[in-house]
């Protein structure tokens, strides 16, 4: 059985969802699961599709990004499908994991995507290092440490950690750290 899965991120993408449903129906999907949710949100229709599929079925999506949010996520979905004897078909890539060539192609595409992500992260790290060397990248300013004296003064007045945190606009954990910190000459 061909089982279709369609997803868009927002309600404004109604036309995109309808187009996916039309395509999946035209491909012969007998059962359709659809949802409008971000790829990082709780995807109940995807979980439903994975639960519905049985040995010998094929899960069909129009595009890879409709199914998985990352290479790792794709790997976990593929592992679950393989364990249950279910193939995956990604229409716009012409990939069908029911064939050895389809499995190879998906692994190659996943490897290329992982490589591109690692290259992007490397370029990002290089840019940050260059900005730091030029003095243009400072990072986030410490908030609670700069308010340590104020925190201790409010605590001496008898305010609770929650009250201090609320008054200064910082977290209770930051208040706790400031109150339990050793004086600077004892830190070494």
Helices (H), the chain: 14-26, 44-52, 71-83, 100-133, 148-156, 161-168, 172-180
| Chain centroid offset of residue 153 CA | 42
Catalytic residue among 9, 38, 76, 79: 9
Q: How far apart are CA 114 and CA 118, in angstroms?
A: 6
Question: Which residue in 183, 153, 154, 151 sits closest to 170, CA to CA?
Answer: 151
> In the annotation, is 9 catalytic?
yes
Task: Report the catalytic residues.
Answer: 9
């Amino acid at each position: 059985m061909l089982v279709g899965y369609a997803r868009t991120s927002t309600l404004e993408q109604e036309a995109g969802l309808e187009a996916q449903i039309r395509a999946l129906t035209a491909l012969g999907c007998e059962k359709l699961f659809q949802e409008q949710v971000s790829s990082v949100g709780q995807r109940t229709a995807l979980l439903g599709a994975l639960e519905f599929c049985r040995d010998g079925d094929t899960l069909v999506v129009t595009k890879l990004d409709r199914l998985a949010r990352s290479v790792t996520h794709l790997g976990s979905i593929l592992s679950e499908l393989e364990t249950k004897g279910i193939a995956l078909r990604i229409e716009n890539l012409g990939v069908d994991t029911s064939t050895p060539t389809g499995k190879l192609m998906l692994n190659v595409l996943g490897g290329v995507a992982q490589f591109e992500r690692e290259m992007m992260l490397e370029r990002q790290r290089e840019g940050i290092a260059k900005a730091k060397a030029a003095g243009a990248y400072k990072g986030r300013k410490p908030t609670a440490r700069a308010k340590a004296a104020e925190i201790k003064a409010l605590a001496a007045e008898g305010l609770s950690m929650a009250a201090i945190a609320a008054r200064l606009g910082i977290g209770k954990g930051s208040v706790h750290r400031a109150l339990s910190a050793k004086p600077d000459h004892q830190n070494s």
